[in-house]
Structure formats: structure tokens, C-alpha cells
Amino acid sequence: MSAAKRSPPFRAEHCGSLLRPQELVQKRYDVAAGKATQDDLTPLEDKSIAEVVKLQKDCGLHIISSGEYARHMFWGTFFEDLNGMKELQLGVLKGYDASMFRDYAPDVRSFLESKEIPNAVTVCVGKISHPGHSSYQREVDIMKKLLPESEWKNIKITMISPSWYHFRYRAGRSYPADVYANDDEYFEDVAKAYQDELKYLHGQGIRNIQIDDPNLAYFCSESMLEGWKADEGNDKTADEMFDAYVKFYNKCFERPEDMHLGIHLCRGNYVGSRHFSEGAYDNIAKKLFQDLNVDTYYLEYDTPRAGGFEPLAHLPKNKNAVLGVITSKFPALEDKDEMIARLHQAADIVGKASGQSRDEALQRLCVSPQCGFASHAEGNALGYEDMRKKLQLVRGIADAVWPGQE
């Protein structure tokens, strides 16, 4: 029986990043150190992406990504490529040091505590605008060469959250005061840049976008919320900031009608399989699911730190949730039957809230690993074959829950 054709999201999904071959990781470091050139790196990227596309197909997946192999970190190069943004080494310019960060932002707090302060930051230095080309063009070009045009709609391009270079900086430090007078002005130009990017990618045949966003899940963290409240420099409460972000994101996500856009929320995914925060979705669920203009939510659900499925009761009938019940952080394989039972449990909650049967509610759900396998270059604490088995497990669970569906 052939799988029923569908558009994103697919029943068996993953979150974009896949473990990179060590040779590729090392070559990128060699380029950065001046020991190799981009000409040395390019053919290796091409070869590695072709191999990881084959891996995804061999695992029976219909969502196809580049594994994020053409970039070093999950956030890619979108902001770095915008007019008005500049990547700086810490300490190069006076005032751009650790004090610019919110030290209670979960990932920043972790860096500061371990003295692993990021060695570069991207800051606004002028009026922000789209450059007229896409920093993801290389990924798009490679993927389109590897796939028939009929499958271009399956290509997933992952983009960083609109708040990535706002949330981590203290109030007023995200932009110069002589460039933007307030957040609203800054948000307006960033939103226009996102709209231009989505329109550009649409023109390249891309129909599947995933926004990677740890920041919104941080509003579920009690320690972050306590830190926010204690920060006398904030001119908004945490609830007011979350509301402002939802409004900001909705402006960013204005897009062509046939472009599927999802958002991935997690609690951190760093070298050595570290996470940064904990907290159930309950705090933000109603606004997240009902007010944010996205089609699909890719949700972390592999450990108790993400809470239970109860917040899914707020999921509207016209939206999907991809449940990340499989961990991408460690090699141990989950029990297939237990994962199927968890999906049924989630469907019962979704169905009860919307007056649907379990089978009807399942049509709005999918399954995936909880996050990428290599948000950062070195990847998580598991091997390539472990990753393959995880992806095969996702496919097997999907086939059991949704037989005959992609």
C-alpha cells in the first residue's frame, strides 16, 4: 500500500538538524582558522548533504532537510546577513561584553556559569532591512538539485526565531538608541525583513518553513520568570513581553497562503546534549496555540521537564502539533509501544477538548524527535547509527499510528 500523499507536516517528522560527519565539522573549523578555503569546504558540503538526504529517504521520511550542514549553528546566518546587523567578537567594541546579556536568560545563564561566554554576538548597528537575497540560498540550491521538482514542497528550511537577538539582551541593548527609539520600531523593521525572506524563499519553490525558537519556551521557566521580575531595567512584565512577541511574530510570519510555517519550541540543545531550562507549556499554552499565526507546533515532549499533554487542549482544530516524544540527545531507544500509547494519550486530550474522537484528533498530530540532533556543529551525545535508528523508530511509530500516511 503506497503512502497517502500529503503536504507538511508529515506523520513522521524531524526538527531539521542532523549529526554532521566529523570531516565536515573539522573542515569548517579549518576554514575559520585559515588552514583551508571555502573552495575546500564546498564540495564536502555537497557530498555530505547528498548523503544525509539519502539517509532521510532510506528511513522512509518525506520531510527532507539539508541537516543544516551548510551552516555551523542552528540559527544559521539570517540575522547576520541583514543590513543593519553586525557580527562582533566580544570585547571588540566598548560596551559589548557580558553585561549586555540578560544573565537570567536560561542559555546565557548557562554560558556565564560555565565561563563559556559566546565568542561572538550579532548586534544591531543601523536600520535593519532585507539584503535582497537569502542567506539560505546555498541550502536551497543543493536541495533542489538533489530532489525532483515534485518534492521541493517537502524541503524544510529552518530559520531562527525573530526574538533571537532581542530576548537575550537587556532592555534597550538590542539596538542603538539613535537608530530605534523603542522595541516597536525595531520589531517593525525585523518583521519586514522576515516577510521579504519568506516571499523570496517562496519564489525559490520553498513551501515548508520551521522557525526554531527556544525563547518562547523560556517563558515556562520559573527561574527565568523570577529573574525577569527582579530586573529593574525591564519596562514590561514577562506576560506583557510574551504578548508583544506574539504580535511581533505574527507580523513576521505574514506569508503566501500555500507556505506551511511551523514553530519549534524546546528548552535548549547544546554540545554534550545539555538543555537550559525546564517548565511545562501550561503558562503559555492558550496564547501560544490560539494567538500565534503558525500552522504547526513542533513540541519537546521527551522528558518530564516539558510537562504533560494537558496544554494541548488549547490546540485549535485548524492547527497541528508534532509531538517530540523521542529524544535526540541520547542513544537509548524508546519503547515503540510506550510511545504509541503516549500519542494516544495526547490525542484523547486534544479530542476531548474539541469534541472529536481519538482518531479524528490524531489527524492533527504527528511524531518526531524532540529537537535536532546537532543544533551546534559537534552534535549531541550519540552516534550516526544511533540517529538512524531514532529516525527509523519515528517512521515505525508513525506507520503504526497512521498506517498508509506519509
Assess if residue 63 is contained within a domain: yes
- In three-state secondary structure terms, 52 is helix
HEC assignment per residue over the chain: CCCECCCCCCCECCCCCCCCCHHHHHHHHHHHCCCCCHHHHHHHHHHHHHHHHHHHHHCCCCCECCCCCCCCECCCCHHHHCEEEEEEECCCCCCCCHHHECCCCHHHHHHHHCCCCCCEEEEEEEEEECCCCCCCHHHHHHHHHHCCHHHHHHEEEEEECCCHHHHCECCCCCCCCCCCCCHHHHHHHHHHHHHHHHHHHHHCCCCEEEEEECHHHHCCCHHHHHHHHHCCCCCCCHHHHHHHHHHHHHHHCCCCCCCEEEEEECCCCECCCECCCCCCHHHCHHHHHHHCCCCEEEEECCCHHHCCCHHHHHCCCCCEEEEEEECCCCCCCCCHHHHHHHHHHHHHHHHHHHCCCHHHHHCCEEEEECCCCCCECCCCCCCHHHHHHHHHHHHHHHHHHCCCEC
Assess if residue 292 is contained within a domain: yes
Q: Which residue has the cell 535508528?
A: 389
**Is the Cβ–Cβ distance between 74 and 17 less than 8 Å?**
yes
**381/19 Cα distance (integer angstroms):** 10
**The domain containing residue 148 runs over which residues?**
22-401
- Sheet strands (E) in 90-173: 120-129, 156-160
C-alpha torsion sign, points 87, 89, 90, 93: negative
Assess if residue 12 is contained within a domain: no
**246/248 Cα distance (integer angstroms):** 5
CA angle at 162 for the pair 158 and 167, rounded to the nearest 5°:
125
pTM: 0.94
- pLDDT value of residue 275: 47
**Is the Cβ–Cβ distance between 46 and 142 less than 8 Å?**
yes
Assess if residue 406 is contained within a domain: no
- Report, in angstroms and rounded to the nearest whole number, the Rg of the chain calculated over CA atoms: 20
Assess if residue 4 is contained within a domain: no
CA angle at 253 for the pair 249 and 257, rounded to the nearest 5°:
155
Q: Which residue has the cell 525563547?
A: 215
**331/381 Cα distance (integer angstroms):** 7
Neighbours of 202 (CB within 10 A): 15
> What's the number of domains the chain is made of?
1
**44/30 Cα distance (integer angstroms):** 13
- pLDDT value of residue 277: 59
Assess if residue 170 is contained within a domain: yes
- pLDDT value of residue 259: 97
**54/384 Cα distance (integer angstroms):** 14
**Is the Cβ–Cβ distance between 180 and 124 less than 8 Å?**
yes
C-alpha torsion sign, points 200, 206, 208, 212: negative
For the domain that residue 253 is a member of, what is the CATH number? 3.20.20.210
- pLDDT value of residue 74: 84
Assess if residue 232 is contained within a domain: yes
Neighbours of 100 (CB within 10 A): 16
Grid cell for residue 327: 529524544
Give the Å distances, CA to CA, from 166 to 32, 47, 163, 244, 318.
Answer: 27, 36, 5, 12, 30
**135/305 Cα distance (integer angstroms):** 34
What φ, ψ does residue 271 adopt, rounded to 5°? -50, 135
Assess if residue 1 is contained within a domain: no
**Tens-level pLDDT at each residue, the chain (406 residues):** 345 667 899 999 999 999 999 999 999 999 989 999 999 999 999 999 999 999 999 999 999 999 999 998 888 789 999 999 998 765 544 455 677 888 888 777 666 665 555 556 788 999 999 999 999 999 999 999 999 999 999 999 999 999 999 998 999 999 999 999 999 999 999 999 999 999 999 999 999 999 999 899 999 999 999 999 999 999 999 999 999 999 999 999 999 999 999 999 987 655 554 445 567 899 999 999 999 999 999 999 987 777 899 999 999 999 999 999 999 988 999 999 999 999 999 999 999 999 999 999 999 999 999 999 998 888 888 999 999 999 999 999 999 999 999 9
- pLDDT value of residue 120: 62
